[in-house]
Chain A
Amino acid sequence: MVPVLRAAVNTLVHVPDLVRYGSKPFREAAQPGSFLADLKARLRPFGEVAAYPPHQAFIGNLKPEALADIPSPWHGHPLPGASHQGPFGEILDQGTFYSLLEKADQFGLLMLDPGWSPPANGASAAARALMGAAGKRGAREEILKRIESGEALPLEDRGALIGCVRRDHEEDESLAARVLLENMAAKASGAHALRLLLEKAHLPAREVDYILSCSEEAIGDRYNRGGGNLAKAIGEMAGCPNAAGVDIKAFCAAPVYALVHAAALVQAGVVRNAVVVGGGSLAKLGMKSHRHIEKQMPVLEDVLGGVAFWVGPDDGASPRLNLELAGRHPSGRPSTPQGVLEALVCEPLARAGRKLRDIDKYAVELHNPEVTLPAGAGDVPLTNYRTLAALAAMRGEIAREEIPAFIRSHGMPGFAPTQGHIPAGVPYLGHALAAMRAGTMKSAMVVAKGSLFLGRMTQQADGASIVVES
């Protein structure tokens, strides 16, 4: 059974009032000073977020390559007439997302003010399909009491208190209020991405057999931190009654690992329709906000990302996920940028007798450089493309002077929010699918890297790659 990529979806959720619960803003706000007020002053309204050129590229209204023609800063050049809906994605507003959080909550963790309701016209069809009856509503006195006691965190909408989210155990740090909010945000945004995938691809929910969640959050309790399974929770919320599932954990490389696993399961005939889904990372909101504030920019990390992909058996029309070209980084290999990319890109291509320029496009970690450069974190995709081009030159596949042209023709500007796993090459798959169906592209390689050393159990890096080809 040849596995193919049937559909790809990218989503964003604008959550300005949750940026304060990102890891960095939460720590900054605990220090003396005016950080929280400065942060709030630099948050963007929904219209600006929807018209932001990288976001338009993320949901498919703009080709990533077109970003190179838009003057910098991109946040100063919104796209006129931009829609929050695109051919393979959409951008949700915060009010609608709070309703999805209510739906995601099966344990009364969230308590919203009875007087609060989401905007009447904000919800998309995919979001409406997920919404249910309002969850547990509490009197304002009860909400304030929970916040003052320290058991709950306040939830705001456009700056006004509208509810709280509480812990579920006094001593279990895995069930602390902020951790549970992170987990529910990943679940709700993942379910939204999956629901949009079902609708865009006309895939009946009951036909999803297996879900691989590549979301970053590690669900669990004090006896098994990270042992839980977000995949089934997302599948349940999205209304997939026949789907089992499992989580794939590999830092930012998880989406590509998940695609490889999904393709292998389909190729082996274990399942017919597998879905890879990633919800957003609340912890990474505002990760570089202190630098954006310093530079008097908008706080650009104000969106949760979501991705979903349908991997199924060959339908005669969709591009193939070529497992013979799947790349991996064995533990005995160097964890240098060169060592990782040699393992992930050069070696699988060499096995098949192919050259680096035989692949039309490389989708590396597609972090939006406008977010990272002001914080001194460099232009991540460009750095990776330079390494790839240098490898091609070292292997004698291109001349040294061809390096800039290789980068231009096989690379692209970064356009994904800095949400860890979300930029991991996979946001390009919607564009690749469109180009392959239009006959303008034959192959794309998705290359993701994971920083295993962050967990302090190894000094190694990691990564995974896979080729999609018509």
Chain B
Amino acid sequence: MFEGKKVIALGERDGVPGPVLAECLQAAGSEVVYQTTACFV
């Protein structure tokens, strides 16, 4: 479902961090155009 898609990955500190999301999405064949991790506190 991610093959060939451009993806923006928004991670969360206490959930799944941005770099982890990006790695998974790249492995699934998508191009991660931006990734970041938010800290909401």
- Chain A positions within 8 Å of B, measured between CB atoms, are 252, 335-337, 365, 367, 372, 375-378, 380, 383-384, 418, 420, 423, 449, 451, 453-454, 459, 461
Contact = CB atoms under 8 A, between A and B. Distances in A.
A377 B40 contact: yes
Contacts of B17: 335-336, 453, 459, 461
Contact of A451 (B15, B16, B20, B39): B39
A372 B19 contact: no
B13 to A, nearest CB: 5
Interface of B: 13-20, 36-37, 39-41
5 contacts: A376-B40, A378-B14, A380-B41, A420-B41, A461-B13
Contacts of A367: 41
B41 A453 contact: no
Interface centre among B13, B15, B16, B40 (most CB of A within 10 A): B13
Contacts, number: 43
A378 B40 contact: yes
Nearest to B36: A453
A454 B39 contact: yes
A418 B41 contact: yes
- Output the residue of B14, B16, B36 with the most chain A CB within 10 A: B14
Contacts of A378: 14, 40
B28 to A, nearest CB: 18
A449 B39 CA distance: 11
Contact of B19 (A380, A454, A459): A459
Contact of A423 (B16, B40, B41): B41
| Listed residue (A365, A380, A451, A454) with the most chain B CB atoms within 10 angstroms of its CB | A451
Contacts of A336: 16-17, 20
A1 B41 CA distance: 37
B21 to A, nearest CB: 11
A372 B15 contact: no
A455 to B, nearest CB: 11
